């Protein structure tokens, strides 16, 4: 796939190793959930490397110095329900002061089109760095619609983080929203006829929550 501006595939060996365990059909719910959170921490570390800092005065036991801290601290983490919930605590571990919004979307099993059932975002959304999280970017319908909602509510500075993407979904999200940064843990081969990612990991929501 050609290189796209604002798209970052995070090929760190720790992320790749953990994704491989996620893919294994024998990985159970507890381990799966823990891995999703750990991968979110590792991806968040990379995706937040451009957070603005400002120098503040700190007195060490030795002397007073000017030293950088995160400026503003206005961040919103927005999981796409349900599976995105699994990534929230990983990002909160990095930025505990972040507020959390929610967007509820489900894919119609026949048409694969996303349907909204919930949207609640922290104010002032236009002043926040917004990190949208969802482990799976398949057709890209849910991701593109979630970003549409956030923009309609005034969101401007948006990052999208997914653990596995299909080329089709990545292209769709990037073309719909070329202004947002998209962080991908692994770019998989393709979608199958049911719009599941191949090789993928199956249904992320079901594997996180133990449903079927």
Binding partner selected for residue 45 from ligand URA, ligand PRP, none, CB under the kind-specific 5 to 8 Å limit: none
Please tell me what DSSP assigns to residue 127: G
Among residues 19, 100, 130, 204, the one that binds ligand URA under rule CB under 6 A: 204
196 sits near ligand URA (criterion: CB under 6 A) = yes
User: Known catalytic residue: 107?
Assistant: yes
Which of the residues 23, 27, 33, 203 is marked catalytic? Answer: 203
155 sits near ligand PRP (criterion: CB under 6 A) = no
Binding partner selected for residue 82 from ligand URA, ligand PRP, none, CB under the kind-specific 5 to 8 Å limit: ligand PRP
| C-alpha to C-alpha distances, 126 to 47, 70, 79, 123, 158, nearest whole angstrom | 19, 18, 17, 8, 10
Distance CA 194, CA 189 (A): 15
88 sits near ligand URA (criterion: CB under 6 A) = no
Q: How many residues does the structure list for the chain? A: 212
| DSSP alpha helix (H) spans, the chain | 13-23, 29-47, 85-94, 141-152, 167-176, 204-209
* Piece of 93-101, 120-128, 144-152, 198-206 that binds ligand URA (CB under 6 A): 198-206
Among residues 47, 80, 121, 180, the one that binds ligand PRP under rule CB under 6 A: 80
User: Known catalytic residue: 67?
Assistant: no
163 sits near ligand URA (criterion: CB under 6 A) = no
In the complex, the smallest distance separating the C-beta of residue 124 from ligand URA, rounded to whole angstroms, is 32
User: Known catalytic residue: 203?
Assistant: yes
Token representation of residue 70: 């995160």
Tell me phi and psi for residue 66, to 5 degrees: -95, 130
Which of the residues 53, 67, 111, 211 is marked catalytic? Answer: 111
Among residues 35, 80, 91, 138, the one that binds ligand URA under rule CB under 6 A: 138
44 sits near ligand URA (criterion: CB under 6 A) = no
Distance CA 36, CA 60 (A): 37
Please tell me what DSSP assigns to residue 35: H
Q: Burial level of 209, CB count in 10 A (0-12/13-18/19+)?
A: middle
| Helix, strand, coil content of the chain in percent (nearest 5) | 35, 30, 35
- Binding site residues, ligand PRP, CB under 6 A: 80-83, 105-107, 112, 114, 134-143, 169, 195, 203-205
Q: Which residues are catalytic?
A: 107, 111, 203, 206
């Amino acid at each position: 796939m050609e290189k796209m501006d604002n798209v970052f595939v995070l090929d760190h060996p720790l992320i790749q190793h953990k994704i491989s365990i996620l893919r294994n059909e024998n990985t159970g719910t507890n381990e799966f959930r823990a891995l999703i959170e750990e991968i979110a921490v590792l991806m968040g570390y990379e995706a937040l490397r451009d957070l603005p800092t400002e120098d503040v005065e700190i007195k060490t036991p030795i002397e007073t110095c000017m030293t950088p801290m995160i400026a503003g601290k206005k961040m919103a983490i927005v999981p796409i329900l349900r599976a995105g919930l699994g990534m929230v605590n990983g990002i909160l571990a990095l930025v505990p002061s972040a507020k959390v919004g929610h967007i509820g979307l489900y894919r119609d099993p026949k048409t694969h089109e996303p349907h909204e059932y919930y949207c609640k975002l922290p104010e002032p959304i236009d002043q926040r760095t917004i990190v949208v999280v969802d482990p799976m970017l398949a057709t890209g319908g849910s991701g593109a619609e979630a970003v549409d909602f956030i923009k309609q509510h005034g969101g401007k500075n948006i990052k999208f983080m997914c653990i596995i993407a299909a080329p089709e979904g990545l292209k769709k999200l990037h073309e719909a929203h070329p202004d947002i940064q998209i962080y991908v843990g692994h770019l998989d081969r393709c979608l199958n006829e049911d719009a599941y990612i191949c090789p993928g990991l199956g249904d992320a929501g079901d594997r996180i929550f133990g449903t079927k």
